[in-house]
Amino acid sequence: MRKFAMVVIFTFLLYPLHASEMDVDQIIDKFANAVGGKENIAKVNAIVMTGKLKQGEVEYPVKITTKRPNKFRVEFSVQGKVGIQAFDGSTGWFYMPFLGDDAKPEKVPPHQVAVMKEQDFFYDGLVNYKNHGNKVEFLGEDEVEGTPVYKIKLIKPSGNEIVYFIDKDSFLLLKNEVSIKLPDGNTHKSTVILGDYKKVGDLMLNFYVEEKRGKNASVIEIDEYKINPTIDDKIFAFPENVEKTAN
């Protein structure tokens, strides 16, 4: 029996679980478990994050509200005035009162809507990829800044792609690369690095987001998550007027 145990151990060591042998669904399941489990993920309907966007010594307070399936509203404050960018599932808009109080909410052009539409609510597109008609592809192992990861490509019916870089140890997401085809044929690309995971209720959430677009990088440090607060859908819809934040 002892002999047998030895053999088993050695065999196990000689043939470590190769990534290529690891089923992509297994990785996604482990990822879902790391985040809190599929059931708990399914229970999440809305999230509010508040924190600060940091660029050098400058800090901008931010608040991000998201709601299933792809509604969101981002508010950020500059010199005490609040700008808004939001999407209600079909219309995207912004309000930027920074150059004059005569600013009005404006609708974003279709190519920005194309990007907004692709917002995934809380990894739903990956965890329940089949429900969304998404496809996944295992791209093998790689590194994120020296840390070994599994790479999974998510391909949406629209043809847009997200590559997820999932930590081999914890199965948490370290990075993703989004590539969205715009109506005029150009591609929108962004890279996001995640960190500072903390438990919030049953979920494991990142409190650090670093976004890279070209040579520009910014960091959002999240101070607080609210899970499933009551959110009126009105805040996502294009308003005729926005209540002035100052003056």
Partner 1 sequence: MVRVVFAFLLLPLTLFADYGSWVFGNISARSIGPAVMGGRVSDLAAIPSNPVVIYVGSASGGLWKSKDGGITFSPIFDKYPQSIGAIAIDPNDSETVWVGTGEPWTRNSVSVGKGVYKSTDGGKSWKFMGLEDTERIAKIIVHPENSKIVYVCALGHLWNDNEERGVYKTVDGGKSWKKILYVDQKTGCSDMAIDPQEPEILYVGMWEFRRWPWFFKSGGPGSGLYKSLDGGKNWTLLKNGFPEKPWGRIAVAVAPSRPSRVYVLLEDDKGTALYRSDDFGNSFVKVNEGFNIRVRPFYFARLIVDPVDYNIVYKPGISLTISRDGGESFAGPFGYGGTVHPDHHALWINPKNPKHLILGTDGGVYESFDRGDSWRHLNNLPISQVYRVGVDNEFPYNVYVGLQDNGSWRGPSMKLGFRGVLNKHWETVGFGDGFWSFAHPKDSKMVFSEYQGGKLVRVDMTSGELRSITPHLATGEKLRFNWNTPFLFGPSGTLYVGAQFLFRSLDNGESWEKISPDLTTNDPEKQKQHLSGGMTVDNTTAENHTTIYSISESPIDSNVIWVGSDDGLVHVTTNGGKEWIEVTPKSGVPKNTWVSFIESSNHKRERAYVTFDGHRTGDMNTYLFVTDDMGKSWRKLPTEGVEGYAYVVKEDPVNEKLLFLGTEFGLYISIDGGESWARFKKIPKVSVRHMVIHPRGDLVVGTHGRGVYIIDDLSPLRALTPELLSEEVVILPSRDGVQYLMTPLDGWGGADEEFLGDNPPDAAFIHFFQKKRHLFGSLKMEVYDSSGNLVISLPVPKNRGIVRVLFPMRLPPPKVPPGNSLLPAMIGPYLMEGEYTFKLVKGNKSYEGKISLVKDPRNKHSESDRKLQQQTVLELYYLLEDLGYLADTLKYIEDQAADILKKKKLKQVAKIKEEALALRKELVATHPAGWLSGEEKLREKIGELYMGVIAYLGRPTKTQLSQLDFYKKEFSKAEKKFNDLVEKVKAVNRKIERSGFVIKILSKEEWREKREKI
For partner 1, which is the closer residue by CB, 38 or 54? Answer: 54
Q: How many residues bind partner 1 (CB under 8 A)?
A: 53
Give the shortest CB-178-to-partner 1 separation in angstroms: 14
Q: Rule CB under 8 A: is residue 105 a binding residue for partner 1?
A: no
Give the shortest CB-152-to-partner 1 separation in angstroms: 14
Q: Compute, in degrees rounded to 10, the torsion defined by CA atoms 164, 169, 171, 176.
A: -20
Phi/psi at 246 (nearest 5 deg)? Answer: -155, 165
**Dist CA 114 CA 219 (whole Å):** 24
Scan residues 2-61 and list those touching partner 1 (CB under 8 A): 2, 5-6, 9-10, 13, 50, 52, 54, 56-59, 61
Q: Whose CA is closest to 71, among 127, 122, 128?
A: 122
Mask 165-204, x = binds partner 1 (CB under 8 A)?
A: --x--x-x-x------------------x-xxxx------
CB 74 within 8 A of CB 95: no
Give the shortest CB-101-to-partner 1 separation in angstroms: 4
Q: Whose CA is closest to 171, among 193, 148, 191?
A: 148
For partner 1, which is the closer residue by CB, 129 or 207? Answer: 207
Give the interface segment with partner 1, choosing from 14-22, 38-46, 93-101, 109-117 (CB under 8 A): 93-101
Provide the 10 A C-beta neighbour count for residue 152: 23
Q: Is 40 exposed, middle or buried (0-12, 13-18, 19+ CB in 10 A)?
A: middle
Choose, by CB under 8 A, the member of 22, 46, 78, 155 that binds partner 1: 78
Give the shortest CB-58-to-partner 1 separation in angstroms: 6
CB 170 within 8 A of CB 163: no
Cα separations in angstroms, 128 against 37, 49, 122, 159, 213: 12, 23, 11, 17, 28
Q: Rule CB under 8 A: is residue 77 a binding residue for partner 1?
A: yes
Phi/psi at 150 (nearest 5 deg)? Answer: -95, 145
Give the shortest CB-131-to-partner 1 separation in angstroms: 27
* Cβ-based neighbours of 207, under 8 Å, separated by 6 or more: 51, 195, 196, 197, 198, 221, 222, 223
For partner 1, which is the closer residue by CB, 56 or 69? Answer: 56
Q: Rule CB under 8 A: is residue 146 a binding residue for partner 1?
A: yes
Scan residues 227-246 and list those touching partner 1 (CB under 8 A): 245-246
Phi/psi at 187 (nearest 5 deg)? Answer: -120, 135
Residues at the interface with partner 1 (CB under 8 A) = 2, 5-6, 9-10, 13, 50, 52, 54, 56-59, 61-63, 75-82, 98-103, 143-147, 167, 170, 172, 174, 193, 195-198, 207-208, 210, 215, 219, 221, 245-247
